[in-house]
Chain A
């Protein structure tokens, strides 16, 4: 089977690399988290040694867990994601993947986006404020997390 020989080819070249672990997820539904905090869900089609990913039928999903809401972008697209922007990627079990969504209300993507963006901006402002205080007191390199 051509699929098996592709795998063997990859495993021979990338035996001890992270990329070798990705091959197991090809043609399966995956969830990808990006550095800017976005979540993408789709079918992984191909990848390379930098973990650049090609996601087919990809949608962006926004979770607003404190409001018990979620949103998905309307039109599925193919994403070619540059590897360095990926925080994590995981395989989804298609039988179980809808379970976490059951308790959540689905809202319009545009509304969710607005809420998400305002939260990001709040976090940035808060971080700037805190950093200024730290800097004034001689502490540099303070970090802040989004959540």
Chain B
């Protein structure tokens, strides 16, 4: 739901990061933290003028230097679907727990030993 939560959920997806300076980095998001520091892999870096391109295997970007991050439009839909599934799963899980506790009680009363 929160922007950083979304960032966390798209690990493994290709994204484009633009820094405040104007440099752009296209790569796969491997990790991120609550300060928006991120690590990317298989990155193509280019400067603000778009003149030079560098291929870098791993890169660490400090969050404070980021202007924005761009990702595919479908990722949000995927993210929302997962959220809804998790919500349903959570409610289902709660109901199951309730039932299991009841059964557990029964078993204890029924037998003498385990």
A interface residues, Cβ below 8 angstroms from B? 6, 34-36, 45-48, 52-54, 56-57, 76-82, 85
The answer to whether A52 and B3 touch (CB under 8 A), given A76-B73, A79-B69, is yes
Size of the B side of the interface (Cβ < 8 Å), in residues, is 20
The answer to whether A81 and B73 touch (CB under 8 A), given A46-B1, A46-B2, A48-B4, is no
The answer to whether A80 and B71 touch (CB under 8 A), given A48-B2, A48-B4, A54-B6, is yes
B26: min CB distance to chain A, Å: 12
Inter-chain contact count A-B, CB under 8 Å?
A: 59
Residues in A with CB closer than 8 Å to B22 are 36
**Segment at the interface with A among B39-47, B60-68, B88-96, B98-106:** B60-68
B76: min CB distance to chain A, Å: 5
Closest to A51 in B: B3
The answer to whether A77 and B70 touch (CB under 8 A), given A45-B76, A48-B4, is yes
Evaluate contact between A78 and B75: CB separation under 8 angstroms.
yes
7 new A-B contacts at CB < 8 Å, known A77-B72, A79-B68, A85-B68: A35-B20, A47-B3, A52-B3, A54-B6, A80-B7, A80-B69, A82-B68
A7: min CB distance to chain B, Å: 12
The answer to whether A80 and B3 touch (CB under 8 A), given A34-B67, A36-B22, A85-B67, is yes
Residues in A with CB closer than 8 Å to B71 are 77-78, 80
The answer to whether A80 and B68 touch (CB under 8 A), given A46-B1, A53-B3, is yes
Residues in A with CB closer than 8 Å to B70 are 77-80
The answer to whether A56 and B76 touch (CB under 8 A), given A34-B67, A36-B67, A82-B63, is yes
**B59 touches A (CB below 8 Å):** no
Residues in B with CB closer than 8 Å to A47 are 2-3
Residues in A with CB closer than 8 Å to B7 are 80
A-B contact pairs, 24 of them (CB 8 A): A34-B68, A35-B20, A35-B67, A36-B22, A36-B67, A46-B2, A46-B6, A47-B2, A48-B2, A48-B3, A48-B4, A52-B4, A54-B6, A57-B73, A77-B73, A78-B71, A78-B73, A79-B69, A79-B70, A80-B6, A80-B71, A82-B63, A82-B68, A85-B67
Evaluate contact between A78 and B3: CB separation under 8 angstroms.
no
Residues in A with CB closer than 8 Å to B63 are 82
Residues in B with CB closer than 8 Å to A57 are 73
